[in-house]
């Protein structure tokens, strides 16, 4: 199988050459530009606003990433000029939306730490045909920005929170900000945001709190979604001993009440959703995101634009298209459109994490989550 290389896109003559396609895709011209060779329609763009963050989650940021200056030198945190500018991001999103993509999530790094985000969201919000802009945040700055986000039309926020214990929060994230996150959650709740809390499930770290999270789902209008811990990033702290399958989490949660599956609305993405009903009649919603035990590659509709301007068609595959090089070398909109199309065409069928794990290998993609955008 032959895949396009990044250099193909930087070569200005590339678009005069015949389209290079994988062997499966015999007649790409007949495909809708957003349909890949496995008949998936790619309609959802996740945009990493920055690789910087005000937390240092042990599974996400490079170890010891304390000193910003030092880390721009060692390449672990990008220099500002290496990040896509808002103008560049807006151009890519506009072209993607014109091609038919209609969902956008802003992530990172921590999107709320980049100056000018609200103005950027405002510009996105007036793009025709783009459904709601959604945000994934660690919640540290949520209380400060919630009202303005609402004013710019954001209605749904995913907040990442792996523990409800302030001390453990500091251990996981390297920062003593549990109170700020909690304050942000309550403020966003009071303003009427739809809120999903993402919990990365880690045996020996937060498994004793799964029940507390389930109770939170019963007591507050927060949807709690447990995410299987993935081995991501060259310096990932991932450890097989910490991995816990969604099925095991579900068994633990079921001690708090009855779990009844319901069909994923379009809205829920890859999460398997359940209604949780406690013996006293209280109800809540919990979900499980199972990239490893039940990977959802056959339904994956995503494309990611990393903070460095690389277009990535699979979170767990390091193959990328260098859109920044195109943008900064004067490529026409047609060329950008074509490279998006080719990236979609070459989206891999799926990943092999579970097999790798079974073979006893430590599977990892080299890309760092804070740059790719989770």
Which CB sits closer to ligand SAM, 277 or 294? 294
H/E run at residue 321: strand 320-322
Query: What would you measure as the largest C-alpha separation in the chain, in angstroms?
Result: 68
Burial class (CB in 10 A: 0-12, 13-18, 19+), 334: exposed
Tell me: does residue 197 bind ligand SAM (CB under 6 A).
no
Tell me: does residue 76 bind ligand SF4 (CB under 6 A).
no
Tell me: does residue 374 bind ligand SAM (CB under 6 A).
yes
Binding track over 20-59 against ligand SF4, x by CB under 6 A: ---------------------------------x-xxx--
Tell me: does residue 367 bind ligand SAM (CB under 6 A).
no
Contacts of residue 36, Cβ cutoff 8 Å, sequence gap at least 6: 42, 313, 344, 345, 346, 347
Site for ligand SAM in 239-278 (CB under 6 A): none
Q: Which two tokens stand for residue 67?
A: 């000193």
Tell me: does residue 367 bind ligand SF4 (CB under 6 A).
no
In this chain, which stretch among 108-116, 210-218, 247-255, 345-353 interacts with ligand SF4, using CB under 6 A? 108-116
Binding track over 219-238 against ligand SAM, x by CB under 6 A: --------x-xx-x------
Site for ligand SF4 in 122-141 (CB under 6 A): 138
Task: Identify the residue among 160, 163, 313, 343 touching ligand SAM (CB under 6 A).
Answer: 160
Q: Which of 226, 214, 189 is nearest to 277 (CA)?
A: 214
Which CB sits closer to ligand SAM, 314 or 336? 314
Q: Which two tokens stand for residue 335?
A: 């060329």
CA end-to-end span of the chain:
28
Phi-psi region of 243 (alpha: psi -120 to 50; beta: other; left: phi over 0): beta
Smallest separation, CB 373 to ligand SF4 (Å): 9
The 10 Å Cβ neighbour count of residue 269 is 21
Report how far residue 280's alpha carbon sits from residue 85's, in angstroms, rounded to the nearest whole number.
Answer: 52
Sheet holding 258-261, edge to edge: 258-261, 272-277, 283-289, 222-228, 194-201, 156-160, 133-137, 103-107, 44-48, 302-305, 310-312, 320-322
Tell me: does residue 110 bind ligand SF4 (CB under 6 A).
yes
Task: Identify the residue among 36, 51, 76, 110 touching ligand SAM (CB under 6 A).
Answer: 110
Which CB sits closer to ligand SF4, 47 or 331? 47
Tell me: does residue 154 bind ligand SF4 (CB under 6 A).
no
* Site for ligand SAM, rule CB under 6 A: 53, 59-60, 107-110, 136-138, 160, 198, 200, 227, 229-230, 232, 369-370, 374
* Site for ligand SF4, rule CB under 6 A: 53, 55-57, 60-61, 108-110, 138, 160, 369-370
């Amino acid at each position: 199988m032959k895949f396009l290389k990044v250099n193909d896109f930087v070569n200005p003559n590339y678009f005069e050459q015949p389209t290079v396609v994988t062997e499966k895709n015999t007649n790409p011209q007949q495909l809708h530009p957003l349909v890949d060779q496995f008949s998936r329609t790619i309609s959802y763009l996740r945009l990493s606003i920055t690789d910087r963050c005000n937390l240092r989650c042990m599974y996400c940021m490079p170890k010891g990433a304390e000193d910003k200056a030092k880390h721009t030198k060692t390449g672990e945190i990008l220099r500002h000029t290496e990040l896509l500018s808002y103008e560049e991001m807006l151009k890519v999103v506009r072209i993607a939306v014109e091609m038919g993509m209609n969902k956008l999530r802003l992530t990172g790094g921590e999107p709320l730490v980049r100056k000018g985000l609200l103005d950027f969201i405002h510009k996105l919000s007036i793009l025709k045909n783009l459904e709601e802009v959604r945000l994934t945040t660690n919640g540290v700055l949520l209380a400060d920005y919630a009202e303005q986000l609402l004013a710019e039309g954001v209605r749904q926020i995913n907040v990442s929170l792996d523990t409800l214990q302030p001390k453990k929060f500091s251990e996981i994230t390297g920062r003593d900000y549990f109170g700020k996150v909690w304050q942000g959650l309550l403020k966003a709740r009071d303003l009427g945001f739809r809120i999903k809390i993402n919990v990365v499930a880690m045996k020996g770290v937060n498994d004793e709190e799964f029940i507390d999270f389930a109770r939170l789902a019963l007591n507050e209008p927060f949807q709690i979604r447990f995410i299987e811990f993935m081995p991501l990033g060259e310096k990932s702290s991932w450890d097989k001993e910490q991995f816990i399958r969604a099925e095991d989490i579900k068994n633990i949660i079921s001690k708090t009440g009855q779990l009844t599956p319901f069909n994923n609305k379009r809205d829920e993405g890859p999460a398997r959703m359940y209604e949780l009903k406690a013996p006293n009649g209280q109800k809540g919603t919990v979900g499980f995101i199972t990239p490893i035990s039940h990977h959802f590659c056959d339904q994956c509709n995503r494309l990611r634009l990393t903070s460095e301007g690389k277009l990535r068609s699979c979170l767990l595959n390091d193959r990328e298209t260098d859109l920044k090089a195109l943008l900064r070398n004067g490529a026409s909109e047609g060329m950008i459109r074509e490279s998006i199309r080719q990236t979609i065409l070459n989206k891999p069928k799926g990943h092999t994490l579970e097999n790798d794990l079974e073979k006893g290998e430590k599977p990892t993609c080299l890309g760092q989550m804070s740059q790719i955008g989770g």
